[in-house]
Amino acid sequence: QSALTQPPSASGSPGQSVTISCTGTSSDVGGYNYVSWYQQHSGKAPKLMIYEVSKRPSGVPDRFSGSKSGNTASLTVSGLQAEDEADYYCSSYAGSNNYVFGTGTKVTVL
């Protein structure tokens, strides 16, 4: 199972928006509405930010939103804040009780 493809880095100034892509195949991202996004600050455990493509867990700011088109999912962070600087990973169900994560994107707040 190959990792989902994410850009290595993304950046934006405070208040701006940044969008991260997550590209898979029809066997994972494109085949199921089970794409999730995680935020990981340095030295910390990942935190679930988006599940089932576009749903936000309780407590996650609505500045974080998710979407999907075909084999590519996207995470948009609007109104960037300093604390949004972190690594972001996507994941997808890949069928047959398997899951796959993305390669990760480092978001920098300029």
CA–chain centroid gap for 72, Å, is 11
SS3 call for 76: strand
Decide: 103 and 6 in contact? Cβ < 8 Å: yes
Give the separation between CA 35 and CA 77, rounded to whole angstroms.
16
Q: In the set 24, 91, 107, 109, which binds other proteins (CB under 8 A)?
A: 91
Contact between 7 and other proteins (CB under 8 A)? no
Q: Which two tokens stand for residue 75?
A: 């995470």
| Nearest partner of 75 among 57, 92, 90, judged by Cα | 90
Stretch that binds other proteins, among 15-23, 65-73, 76-84, 94-102 (CB under 8 A): 94-102
The verdict on 45 binding other proteins (CB under 8 A) reads: yes
**Angle subtended at Cα 101 by Cα 26 and Cα 50, rounded to the nearest 5 degrees:** 90
3 near other proteins, judged by CB under 8 A = yes
64 makes contact with other proteins (CB under 8 A): no
Query: Is 103 a binder of other proteins (CB under 8 A)?
Result: yes
Among 36, 39, 65, 74, binds other proteins (CB under 8 A): 36
Provide the binding-site residues for other proteins, judged by CB under 8 A: 1, 3, 36, 38, 45-48, 51, 57, 89, 91, 96-104
